[in-house]
Amino acid sequence: MQETLVIMLLLAAGVIITIYKGINIVPQGEEWVVERLGKFSRTLKPGLNIIIPYLDAVRQKVSTRDIILDIPQQEVITRDNAVILTNAVTFIRVTKPQDAIYGVEDFYLAIQQLVMTTLRSILGEMTLDEALSNREHIKTKLKDQIIDDVADWGVTVKSVEIQDISPSASMQDSMERQAAAERERRAIETTAEGNKNAAILEAEGKLEAAKREAEAQVALANASAEAIRLISDNIQDKELPAMFLLGDRYITSLEQISKSQNSKFVIYPADLQGAVKGMLGNVFKK
């Protein structure tokens, strides 16, 4: 009697365990891959699912939510032999769990390595300046190149973001020295340009002054000629007008010399009075 009771209890426990194993509740945001005797059978969707105990087994629970996959920092040599450091982050989603499980051994590691190698290849074709200033172009090209490969693994690439692209420490030091040299060169060019413009303006000023001086000399000569003509017409003498103007200019020059602070002596010609008397005498005789 006791043996029968024990058997009944064991059978009841076995039935309970079997039912428990056959009932699976899949949470939202996950899908479970089920194998039957080691072979892929089906994928359990979120909610209540029944499987055959001992024949079916859950191989792996796969998240169908967006997955943030960090891409480690790596060194990349650009086309102009500059060393830069770059890292990224990839947003992916598993759309076919069976392909993600059976298509590749570890789809997380596979996508990570694929992004790293593709990013290194893209940056290797660019110069340093292009790599630093074309982040959006790099991101778009990277996504386009990996999207088909990851699709074979049942994964969709939602987005790829370049977190950082920066020169290495040695490159930053070289760039700083280059920038300092460039600033110094521009300063020298600016100074030289300013000196050149100043010299041009000074030369133009001297030229203009010379032109004005020449015009003044011509005007003065014309005025003197007109004065001589008028005096000649009035006094009917050819030599006296020129001597009169010469004496007038001589007296004016002496007056200017006497006003100068540097002048110590004013020299008069010995025959000045005689010359003046002669001119006046000639005038009165006329």
62-71 confidence digits (pLDDT tens): 999 999 999 9
Summarised one tens digit per residue, pLDDT across range 8-24 is: 888 888 888 888 888 88
* pLDDT for res 180: 77
Token pair listed for 111:
């996508």
What per-residue confidence (pLDDT) applies to 242? 56
Confidence of residue 112 (pLDDT cuts 50, 70, 90): very high
Comparing 117 with 169, the larger pLDDT belongs to 117
Q: Note the pLDDT of residue 245.
A: 59
The answer to which of 15-19, 121-125, 168-172, 247-251 has the lowest mean pLDDT is 247-251
Q: Is the pLDDT of residue 285 over 60?
A: no
CA angle 174, 180, 181 (to 5 degrees): 90
Is the pLDDT at 281 greater than 70? The verdict is no
* Domain ranges for the chain: 2-63, 67-167, 186-235, 237-286
Tell me what pLDDT residue 63 has. Answer: 92
Domain covering 67-167: architecture: 2-Layer Sandwich (3.30)
- Closest among 94, 101, 88, 83 to 33, alpha carbons compared: 101
86 close to 74: Cβ distance less than 8 angstroms: yes
111 pLDDT tier (thresholds 50, 70, 90):
very high
Contact 227, 245 (CB under 8 A): yes
% of residues, the chain, pLDDT over 70: 76
Instruction: Report the alpha-carbon distance of residue 42 to residue 22 in Å, rounded.
Output: 14
**Which one is predicted more confidently, 234 or 190?**
190
285: Cβ contacts below 8 Å, ≥ 6 apart: none
Closest CA to 95 of 161, 27, 39, 31: 31
